[in-house]
A = this chain, B = another copy of it.
Amino acid sequence: MMLKLVIIGGGSSYTPEIIEGMIDRHDQFPVTEIALVDIEKGKQKLDVISRLAKRMVKKSGKDITITASLDRRNALKNADFVTSQIRVGGLKAREKDERIPLSYGALGQETNGAGGIFKALRTIPVLLEVSKDMAELCPNAWLINFTNPAGMVTEALLKYGSHKRVIGVCNIPFNMRTGVAEILGCQTEDVEIEFIGLNHFVFGRRVLVKGVDYTSIVIERLKDPSNQYSPANIVSEGWSSTFLSSFMMLPNPYHSYYFKGAEMLEKSLKEYWENGTRAEVVQQVEEELFKKYDDKELTEKPTELEKRGGAFYSDAACNVMTSIYTNKGDIQTVNVQNNGTISDLPNDAVIETNAVMGGEGPRPISIGTLPLSIRGIIQLMKNMEELVIEAAVKGDRERLYQALVINPLVREETLAKDLMEELLDAHKEDLPQFYQQV
């Protein structure tokens, strides 16, 4: 039996993670073909990755065919699963997303800040094309999207795309589970966190270890700064006791940008002056990584990849695919359409939530109303996302401006205007929807 996975953005430095994930899970998820797809501009990287992937497979002894191609439509034919990890405009674009806001003394924040907003504007139209192709060429395949901002991108695909089998994944929830397991000294598999909220704005409402509530114990331990969980790419200073005790919920690392914004801004500015933007740092890391990848002796994922920030990305995606394929019915944290799961958010909003993962895809566990302490801020962030999505799809500057004004990292009406104009201009060639002839 054939089982085909297509990786859109196959030339990404993250791809070896997925290859490894597929090899490790081959007994349960016997993939027969992995098709790497990329665009012309990424051909060179694609070749490096493709060769590394082949070496990795060979070493594993698994029966997996690796193919590489620039012809996306051809690759999508007969796909069973498709993953997406693209970066429209490349790291150069990200650099602008970070540098321009910083030049105004504001955080760019490539998830939900002005940077993330412009990343969404660039990405959504491209993935809507993928969605259209999938509806035509592999209508039963699942698209596992981990292109950021994953929440907004998934919502755009589910609202405006032709293909409805789309699941957004992010490594943050998985990361937090692992972090909590470390703090408690137990196995990650035994930890369940009740996640509520949005991608990069998710809270952990309850921690269960083998069905027993450990929330207050974890909260207590988090007060010790040495117990912070955080991904490699966010230097977190931890949360005050007051914050942790008042909210009695686990913040995610990205919450620092909102509730510790002054600190984070100061830190970002300092780093920027010393090393340039994070994008520039990453660019260098990537160059080194690709040099490693190109080494013919390398037959497995190099440990350096983990420094890149996306640890567990592949786990999140590979677990989703495996559970669908095997009708496993375990609980995973994914980005799916709300459809009433959270009563306080629109039905067609995408939320990051726990779902039973089986043969028919994710079925979210009902949440009901949001806790009073976070209801409004989550509603605000979702509203901001909806405005961005509409702006991205329609090239609508009014919606874009509204999103920026509403965004807590911008908020000032003049700053919003300045950022909008400079960023639109800087990304002009990747934002055709805003520059179309009418």
Contact with B along A381-392 (1 / 0, CB 8 A): 111101100100
B364 touches A366 (CB 8 A): yes
Partner of A356, one of B212, B359, B365, B372: B365
Q: A347 within 8 Å of B by Cβ?
A: yes
Q: A233 within 8 Å of B by Cβ?
A: no
Apart from A245-B398, A379-B379, 18 more pairs, CB < 8 Å: A211-B327, A243-B405, A246-B397, A259-B413, A340-B343, A340-B369, A347-B368, A364-B365, A365-B366, A372-B386, A372-B387, A375-B383, A376-B379, A376-B380, A376-B384, A376-B406, A377-B380, A380-B380
28 contacts between A and B (CB under 8 A): A208-B359, A210-B327, A211-B358, A212-B359, A213-B360, A258-B411, A259-B412, A260-B414, A261-B411, A262-B412, A263-B414, A329-B330, A339-B366, A339-B368, A339-B369, A340-B340, A340-B342, A340-B343, A340-B366, A344-B379, A356-B365, A372-B387, A374-B406, A376-B380, A376-B406, A379-B380, A379-B383, A408-B411
By size class, the interface of chain A is 35 or more
A246 touches B356 (CB 8 A): no
- Which A residues from 75 to 125 make CB contacts under 8 A with B? none
- Which A residues from 387 to 423 make CB contacts under 8 A with B? 387, 390, 397-399, 401-402, 405-406, 408, 411-417
A residues near B (Cβ < 8 Å) are 208, 210-213, 239-240, 242-243, 245-247, 258-263, 327, 329-331, 339-344, 347, 356, 358-360, 363-369, 372-377, 379-384, 386-387, 390, 397-399, 401-402, 405-406, 408, 411-417
A341 touches B366 (CB 8 A): yes
Taken together, the copies of this chain in the complex come to 4
B343 touches A347 (CB 8 A): yes
B377 touches A372 (CB 8 A): no
B373 touches A260 (CB 8 A): no
B367 touches A340 (CB 8 A): yes
Chain B residues with CB below 8 A from A398, complex form: 245-246, 373
- Highest count of chain B CB atoms <10 Å: which of A339, A386, A414, A417: A414
A410 to chain B, nearest CB (A): 10
Chain B residues with CB below 8 A from A263, complex form: 414
Chain B residues with CB below 8 A from A397, complex form: 246
Chain B residues with CB below 8 A from A369, complex form: 339-340, 347
Chain B residues with CB below 8 A from A381, complex form: 376
Chain B residues with CB below 8 A from A374, complex form: 406
- Highest count of chain B CB atoms <10 Å: which of A208, A376, A382: A376
Decide: A406 near B377, CB < 8 A? Known: A358-B211, A367-B340. Answer: yes
How far, in whole Å, are A374 and B386 apart by their CA atoms in the complex? 12
How far, in whole Å, are A260 and B417 apart by their CA atoms in the complex? 12
How far, in whole Å, are A240 and B401 apart by their CA atoms in the complex? 12
Partner of A247, one of B213, B373, B402: B402
Chain B residues with CB below 8 A from A344, complex form: 379
Residue of B nearest to A244 (CB): B413
Decide: A359 near B246, CB < 8 A? Known: A387-B373, A413-B260. Answer: no
A372 touches B365 (CB 8 A): no
How far, in whole Å, are A330 and B327 apart by their CA atoms in the complex? 13
Decide: A382 near B376, CB < 8 A? Known: A240-B414, A359-B212, A363-B366. Answer: yes
Chain B residues with CB below 8 A from A401, complex form: 242-243, 246
How far, in whole Å, are A291 and B379 apart by their CA atoms in the complex? 50
Chain B residues with CB below 8 A from A364, complex form: 365-366
Residue of B nearest to A361 (CB): B211
Chain B residues with CB below 8 A from A262, complex form: 412, 415
A375 touches B379 (CB 8 A): yes
A210 touches B359 (CB 8 A): yes
